[in-house]
Structure 1
Amino acid sequence: MKKPTLKAPKLKAPDLSSVAGGSRTGQSLLAGVAVLGLVFGVAELRSPVAPEAGATGKRSTAQVERTSLVCPPPLQGAVGSTNLTLFSPEGGTGSAGTGLLGDVTRENVIAAQAPVQPAAGASAAPSGQPSAAPSGQPSGQASGSPSAAPAPVVDARVKLDKPGVPATGPAANTDTAPGTFALATGNLAPGFTVTQTTSSEQGGASLSGTRCAPSGTSFWFSGASTDGNRVDYVTLVNADTLPAVVDLRMYGDKGLIENELATGIAVAPGSFKTMLLSGLTKGPVKDLAVHVVTRSGRVGASLHALDGGKGADWLEPSADPAPSVTVPGIPADVTTAHLVVATDSTDDADLKVQLSGKNGWFTPAGKETIHVKAGMTASLDFQFTAETREGASAIRLTPSDAKHATPVVAGLRVDRENKGKTEAAWLSGGSPVGARASVADDRGGQTALLLTAVDSDAKVRVSSSAGASGGTPAAKEVDVPAGTTVTVDGIDPAGLNGPYALTVQTLSGGPVLATRQLTIPSRDVPAFTTQQLRDDHATVEVPQVAADPGVVLR
Structure 2
Amino acid sequence: MKRTTLSLIAAVTALAAVTGFAAVSAPDAPGDTPARAAATLPVERTSLVCPAPSSSDLAETTYTAFTPATEGTGDKGTAQLLPATGDSADKPAKSVLTPKEPAAPVGTDRSGADAPPLAGTAEGRLAPGWAVQQTTEVAAGVGRGLQGLGCVAPDTDFWFPGAATDADRTDYVHLVNPDDSAAVVDIELYGKDGALESEVGSDITVKALTSEPVLLSTLTDEELTDLTVHVNVRSGRVGAAVQALDEKRGGDWLTASADPADSLVMPGIPEDATAVRLIAYSTGGSDADLKLRLASPSGSITPVGNETVHVKAGMTTAVDLGDITKGEPGSLVLTPSGTAVPVVAALQVVRGKGDDQETAYIPAARSVDTRATAIGNTEKGTGLALTAPSATTEVKVTASAGTEGGEAASETFTIKSGTTQKIELPVPSGLKGTYALTVEPTGDGGPLYASRTLTTDMDGVPAFTVQTLPDDRGRVSVPEAEQDLSVLQDRVLHD
Report the TM-score when normalising by structure 1: 0.81
Q: Distance in 1 between matches of 2:328 and 2:243?
A: 27
Q: Distance in 1 between matches of 2:388 and 2:419?
A: 6
- 1:426 is aligned to 2:361: yes
Q: Distance in 2 between matches of 1:46 and 1:204?
A: 71
Q: Which residue of 2 aligns with 1:7?
A: none
Over 3 Å counting, the alpha-carbon distance change for 1:34 and 1:285 in structure 2 is closer
Question: 1:205-224, aligned counterparts within 5 Å?
Answer: 205-224=144-163
Gaps of 5+ in 1: 1-32, 112-151
- 1:395 is aligned to 2:332: yes
Q: Which residue of 1 aligns with 2:177?
A: 238
AA matched with 1:335: T
Q: Which residue of 1 aligns with 2:407?
A: 472
2:60 to 59, 81, 86: 81
2:82 to 88, 102, 106: 102
- 1:540 is aligned to 2:493: no
Q: Which residue of 1 aligns with 2:488?
A: 552
Identity of aligned residues (%): 41
RMSD across aligned positions (CA): 2.6
Q: Is the 8 A contact 1:178 1:271 kept in 2?
A: no
Question: 1:121-200, aligned counterparts within 5 Å?
Answer: 155-171=94-110, 173-175=112-114, 177-200=115-138
How far does residue 280 in structure 1 lie from its aligned partner after superposition? 1.2
AA matched with 2:173: V
Q: Which residue of 1 aligns with 2:467?
A: 531
How far does residue 419 in structure 1 lie from its aligned partner after superposition? 7.8
Q: Is the 8 A contact 1:51 1:546 kept in 2?
A: no
Q: Distance in 1 between matches of 2:112 and 2:473?
A: 33
AA matched with 2:332: I
How far does residue 171 in structure 1 lie from its aligned partner after superposition? 4.5
Q: Deviations over 1:314-363 (max 9, x none)?
A: 01210011111111120011111111111133211111111112332111
Q: Is the 8 A contact 1:205 1:525 kept in 2?
A: no
Q: Which residue of 2 aligns with 1:452?
A: 387
Q: Which residue of 1 aligns with 2:375?
A: 440
Q: Deviations over 1:205-230 (max 9, x none)?
A: 40111111111100111111111311
Q: Distance in 2 between matches of 1:280 and 1:38?
A: 60
Q: Deviations over 1:91-134 (max 9, x none)?
A: 242132112111113343x48xxxxxxxxxxxxxxxxxxxxxxx
- 1:286 is aligned to 2:286: no
Q: Distance in 2 between matches of 1:544 and 1:172?
A: 50
Q: Is the 8 A contact 1:252 1:376 kept in 2?
A: yes
AA matched with 1:317: A
Q: Distance in 1 between matches of 2:11 and 2:67?
A: 56
Q: Is the 8 A contact 2:399 2:408 kept in 1?
A: yes
Report the TM-score when normalising by structure 2: 0.90
AA matched with 1:523: D
Q: Distance in 2 between matches of 1:265 and 1:74?
A: 21
Q: Distance in 1 between matches of 2:342 and 2:457?
A: 38
Q: Give the secondary-structure state (helix, strand or coil) at the position aligned to 1:106.
A: coil
Q: Distance in 2 between matches of 1:551 and 1:363?
A: 58
Q: Distance in 1 between matches of 2:207 and 2:67?
A: 30
Q: Which residue of 2 aligns with 1:258?
A: 197
How far does residue 242 in structure 1 lie from its aligned partner after superposition? 1.6
Q: Distance in 1 between matches of 2:40 and 2:288?
A: 38
Over 3 Å counting, the alpha-carbon distance change for 1:551 and 1:233 in structure 2 is same
How far does residue 37 in structure 1 lie from its aligned partner after superposition? 7.5
Q: Give the secondary-structure state (helix, strand or coil) at the position aligned to 2:49.
A: strand
How far does residue 457 in structure 1 lie from its aligned partner after superposition? 0.7
Over 3 Å counting, the alpha-carbon distance change for 1:36 and 1:221 in structure 2 is closer
How far does residue 538 in structure 1 lie from its aligned partner after superposition? 1.1
Aligned residues: 474
- 1:510 is aligned to 2:446: yes
Q: Give the secondary-structure state (helix, strand or coil) at the position aligned to 1:378.
A: strand
Q: Distance in 2 between matches of 1:492 and 1:289?
A: 38
How far does residue 204 in structure 1 lie from its aligned partner after superposition? 6.6
Over 3 Å counting, the alpha-carbon distance change for 1:473 and 1:76 in structure 2 is farther
How far does residue 483 in structure 1 lie from its aligned partner after superposition? 1.2
Q: Is the 8 A contact 1:249 1:292 kept in 2?
A: yes
